[in-house]
Amino acid sequence: MSRSERLLALLQVLRRHSRPMSGQALAAALDISLRTLYRDIATLQSQGAMIEGAPGVGYVMQPGYMLPPLMFTPEEIEALALGLRWVADRGDVGLAGGARDAMAKIGAVLPAPLRRELEASAVLVGARPKPSPATVVAQDRLRAAIRAEHKLRIVYRDPQGTQSERVVWPFALVYFDEARVLSAWCELRGDFRNFRCDRIAQAEVLDARYPQRRQTLLKTWHQRVRDSGRTILPEFGTMPS
């Protein structure tokens, strides 16, 4: 591994951890000596990386630092291309536009050979039926409520066509090829529920924030799923019919 590759690898390890990592753990992850690690950390700090810590205490990198030009392996380039193309094709208006903008921004800072690899990547997204405009608008509104941690008033239609009005605390939007699913705490049922986006007839973002943090709801939901042993909807619960 070259020194530049080693520095990029160190940045990646630090980015993946929000808590301080010991020098020993970082050195072991990179298969280098502690002396080399300390030297590499000093180099990154001199280049503007916001790495905090000290020997014997541990190291953590504050968010917001990038080391241009970005460097990716061929597999990482293909993963980026496939993921962004999938979102551009299958996301709502906001997500699709964000994916295209992200592709352009990443391409702009890549070295020329990697930029050509990104633009000419052979991993493609297959064709699919386009969602209805009403569903697209609803998803955009749902994501806004999730980000703001605000309650939603929805009109939901069950498989038999019966409609009910709910106030829910949305915390996740799960993307399947065949459906989009809102995971939320339902005030009517007093429990977690999943709602297919194509059955949400109306969605209104309320001014009121829900009383728990989104991360707390998500953590509780994950634990509920693990305890129940359900796997139909990975990490979120059972898929609604």
Q: What is the pLDDT of residues 42-97, one digit of tens each?
A: 988 887 788 998 888 899 988 766 555 566 778 888 999 999 999 998 888 889 99
Question: Do 140 and 221 share a domain, yes or no?
Answer: yes
Rounded average pLDDT over 129-152 = 79
Which domain-ending residue is among 12, 35, 61?
A: 61
Confidence tier at 146 by pLDDT (50, 70, 90): very high
Question: Do 101 and 156 share a domain, yes or no?
Answer: no
Question: Do 154 and 212 share a domain, yes or no?
Answer: yes
Residue for token pair 């619960």? 237
Question: Can you give the residue range of the structural domain that contains 99?
Answer: 74-119
Question: Do 139 and 224 share a domain, yes or no?
Answer: yes
Which domain-ending residue is among 61, 83, 107?
A: 61
Question: Do 114 and 138 share a domain, yes or no?
Answer: no
Q: Is residue 8 part of a domain?
A: yes
Structure tokens belonging to residue 215: 């991360």
Compute the mean pLDDT over every residue in the chain, rounded to the nearest whole number. 85
Question: Do 140 and 165 share a domain, yes or no?
Answer: yes
Give the pLDDT of residue 228.
80
Do residues 172 and 194 lie in contact, with contact meaning Cβ atoms separated by under 8 Å?
no
Residue for token pair 């070295």? 111
Confidence tier at 110 by pLDDT (50, 70, 90): confident
Which domain-ending residue is among 61, 92, 107?
A: 61
Question: Do 158 and 214 share a domain, yes or no?
Answer: yes
Question: Do 149 and 222 share a domain, yes or no?
Answer: yes
Confidence tier at 9 by pLDDT (50, 70, 90): confident
Q: How many domains are contained in the chain?
A: 3
Give the pLDDT of residue 6.
86
Question: Do 213 and 151 share a domain, yes or no?
Answer: yes
Give the pLDDT of residue 69.
55
Cα separation, 49 vs 136, in Å, equals 39
Q: Which of 117-121, 131-135, 138-142, 155-159 has the lowest mean pLDDT?
A: 131-135
Question: Do 109 and 140 share a domain, yes or no?
Answer: no
Does 3 score more than 60 pLDDT? yes
Q: Is residue 156 part of a domain?
A: yes
Question: Do 184 and 143 share a domain, yes or no?
Answer: yes
Whole-model pTM over 0.85:
no
**CA nearest neighbour of 198 among 183, 180, 177, 184:** 180
Q: Is residue 179 part of a domain?
A: yes
What is the CATH number for 196? Answer: 2.30.30.520
Does 232 score more than 60 pLDDT? no
